[in-house]
Structure 1
Amino acid sequence: MDNTKTWFSEWFNTTYYHILYKNRNNEEAQRFIKNLVSFLKLPKENTILDLACGKGRHSIFLNSLGYNVIGADLSKNSIDYANKFGNSKLKFIVQDMRKPFNIKVNAVFNMFTSFGYFDDDNDDIQVLKNIETMIETDGVAVVDYMNVNKVIKNLVKSETIARDHLNFNIKRHLTNGFITKDIDLTDKGEEFHFQERVKAIDLDKFTSYCEHANLKINHIFGDYNLSEFNSDTSDRLILILSK
């Protein structure tokens, strides 16, 4: 496997990815979404694109609040699962976020550090250009990213996480501008190795990206309660963007 190019298409499409992250806090995610839609004052007739939606947990909740939602993800396995929850106001599609979307929406949500996967900065900028093209003139976009300054400062270099019957042996390191997670496990006597690589994009670099994509940063928050961003102490870097 060529980890530098295809790690995301392989890892995200495995059952092991979903097992490792099965304990994600849905209550926290739903509180964040409620805070967002309240702050943004999004009317219920709006259409929201959940970009890199995974198995659709954010999409499904947004739909339950009354919004028209499109969830898009590269992983066919994730979209197949998400489609079980589809309805007339909730659709899911398999789509590489670097490719153009022939749709117009009122808002794009890119949640839970679902960005910064690509070696070439131009690919990340292209994602933002696609967002700029998709949103209506008065539309908004939300990018929810990790605060790389805090993550790097507190990087846990090695740990083992037990999920179900599996032990995920994880090593983390900062290499060539990427926060990399090497994941090793053994299942039924077979050894597996996967990798996550997410670019260490700080606020300055995001600002440059957005300028190239003709997007304005209107608000910056540091956590899911929409508190003020602090580059040293905040858990998240949450950007509210517009044309």
Structure 2
Amino acid sequence: MAPTKAPDSSRRSDRSRRAIHDAALALVTEVGYRRTTIEGIAARAGVGKQTIYRWWPSKAAVLMDAFLDLAGRAAEDAGAGPGAGPGGTGEPAPGIPDTGDLAADLKLVLRATVDELNDPALEAPTRALTAEGIVDAKLGAEFVHKLLDPQLALYVTRLRAAQEAGDVRADVDPRIALELLIGPLMHRWLLRTLPLTHAYADEIVDYAVGGLAPRA
């Protein structure tokens, strides 16, 4: 008689985690962050509440984990492209390209960021986390620490390299300079005033790089 194979508990746990992630993202998209509950996530995922509380202390932690997982999968599906914007993953990307052409490199990254912000699968949870982070200081700090800071650091690195190459003035603070790129993009995305396009991203870069360049 052939020996029976023991159940793979790690695989079962992975399936449960993925089901919980998917349930959390679906609910926050459908009913919003405030009306999303641990009970609702558990029912949607087909697990008990105790399973969720064993892994996460709160629904904010569940959603943050779910969003990081979603963004990571989106990056893999896109072939780990150069996206380094607010909608990107919390994992450090390989970095912003450095071809020697600062404007071209930044346009490549901002275009990828536009694509991420316009992706329906990423847009709803990103908006939910952004909005709730404004009123929930703890969630907002976690959102910045896990999602934004690792990506913004890539801009700082690229802008410092441009300073060393003489393409950006030495007196420019890279951390402030990157806000000239990200700020307008997020402003248009949050207010939905006008379409978020590649052409708009290119214009932002042209205006910003023109202001950062050494003066005659």
Shared fold per TM-score greater than 0.5: no
**Greater helix share, 1 or 2?**
2
**Greater strand share, 1 or 2?**
1
TM-score, structure 2 normalization:
0.28
Larger gyration radius, structure 1 or structure 2: 2
